[in-house]
Homo-oligomer: A and B are copies of this chain.
């Protein structure tokens, strides 16, 4: 049995691509509900330009109004120094910075080459030094939907550069669900050998149905931190109709069934997950909220009791 830590990203990674703006009150209420579920971290929002991501234009207000539960770290995504200043003013517990290991994906997603991203993020790390820890999320570490393979050495090279700047944590992201379990096993081995002193987090998508298989492979390799998104929200514009991030509750349900300790109150989390379709006005991919836990039993159909009696 391993203690496994979850970072819930639904209000950032999920809501940023929702077709409709989720009202600020609902965001605050959802973060507050998640705060009582036992997450190690909650990625609350993103301090990007309101023009770039209008769905998260209420970042300050959300951070100002959420209830801070001791033991939960409230982390936020910041793209640059301006975002980091806003995040620090909002008393974020951690800054999460992002860039892609694929040049093409970085150009497409962040509109700049990787080197320029790195230079900007170095300034963010300098600003945060001595104030809050920084986590770097590296995108497309298991493949780029435009370039294809991203060599593992390329991932490790970028990770090295951030490690040298003193980040606390490193999140290896399968941004578009291209990872498979054998690749995860090899990556995890390389990461653990090299970054034993860092918080190592894996971020999977379920785009091609492999999300929980990849979680399993990572846990087998000794990883104990994962990003998850309530309901499996989030996703990727390159795979229309496909699932998004792994569903936090499905991953946690699996790991708890296997005997691991996630620290999560699963019935409470499932109740929160079941509120999502009404909140968003659409179905969500998460399965356990629909099917119930494996321990949630059903009564036998009516005829069975009668059949038993007739046989006794």
Mark A residues whose CB is within 8 Å of B. Answer: 104, 107-108, 111-113, 143, 145-148, 177-178, 180-183, 206-213, 215-217, 238-243, 247, 250, 253-254, 257-259, 286-288, 290-295, 297-301, 303-304, 307-308, 311
Give the residue name and chain of the B residue nearest to A143 (CB): B294
Shortest C-beta distance, A30 to chain B (Å), equals 21
User: Chain B contacts of A253 at CB under 8 A?
Assistant: 208-209
| A209 in contact with B212 (CB, 8 Å) | yes
From B143, B215, B301, A108 is in contact (CB under 8 Å) with B301
By the criterion CB–CB under 8 Å, are A254 and B212 in contact? no
Of B111, B148, B259, B307, the contact of A307 (CB 8 Å cutoff): B111
**Would you call the interface of chain A mostly helix, strand, loop, or mixed?**
loop
Q: Which of A208, A254, A295, A298 has the most CB of B within 10 A?
A: A208
A258 and B180 contact, CB distance less than 8 A = yes
Q: Using Cβ atoms and an 8 Å threshold, which residues of chain B touch A258?
A: 180-183
Could you jot down 10 A-B contacts, CB within 8 Å? A108-B300, A108-B303, A111-B307, A143-B294, A148-B297, A177-B291, A182-B257, A206-B209, A212-B213, A239-B291
Tell me the minimal C-beta distance from A120 to chain B in angstroms: 15
Chain B residue contacts of A308, Cβ below 8 A: 107
Q: Is the CB of B208 within 8 A of A287?
A: yes
Having A108-B304, A180-B258, one finds 20 other A-B pairs with CB under 8 Å, namely A104-B300, A107-B307, A143-B294, A146-B298, A146-B300, A146-B304, A148-B295, A180-B257, A181-B254, A206-B287, A208-B254, A208-B287, A209-B211, A209-B250, A209-B287, A210-B254, A216-B216, A238-B298, A241-B291, A243-B287
Cβ of A247: which chain B residues have Cβ within 8 Å of it? 209
- Please tell me which one of the listed residues B241, B286, B304 contacts residue A104 in the complex, with CB atoms under 8 A apart: B304
Q: Which 4 A-B pairs have the closest CB atoms?
A: A242-B291, A239-B291, A209-B250, A180-B257
Residues in B neighbouring A254, C-beta threshold 8 A = 180-181, 208-210, 213
Taken together as a complex, chains A and B put the C-alpha atoms of A182 and B112 apart, in Å, by 44
Q: Given A145-B298, A300-B104, A301-B108, A291–B207 Cβ distance below 8 Å?
A: yes
